[in-house]
A = this chain, B = another copy of it.
Amino acid sequence: MSAEVWLTQLHKNGYRITKARAAVVETVEKSTRALTPVEVYDMARKKYRALGLVTVYRTLEKLEELHIIQRVHQPMGCQAFISAGHGHQHLLLCQNCGQVAFFEGDDLDALIESVSKKTGYQISEHWFQLFGLCANCRVN
């Protein structure tokens, strides 16, 4: 499905479509939690055994460049990646299973405006992320 779209995006931007890239793309696109390069490596090698870790790094780099995936920051580390979602979305992470949910919510404008006035800063970007337990982990 969407893995094809990702590959098309790569191709449109002058990158070649290879078995290695397809394996990485399919792995990351399908995942509902953020994956580290090594995790991607381990999972994608089930699809394409000859894959090298270096190629995973290089492919993730390109996907991030094209805003197809995004880096996820967590207390435990900031090397994991997940789909960038569509439009301006924020992340909600399950602290138990790692599951990621996307949400929109820019009721932040008023707050940002007020902070700008108080501090004298010209604010151009914001990061907003929520942590908790997903519906599943909540009951178990």
Contacts and interface: CB of A to CB of B under 8 A. Distances in A.
Given A78-B78, A127-B127, A121 B107 contact: no
Nearest to A134: B121
A86 B15 CA distance: 49
A126 B133 contact: no
B133 A119 contact: no
The complex is assembled from copies of this chain, and their number is 2
Contact of A120 (B114, B125, B126, B134): B134
Interface in A111-130: 111-112, 114-116, 118-130
Nearest to A77: B78
A102 to B, nearest CB: 9
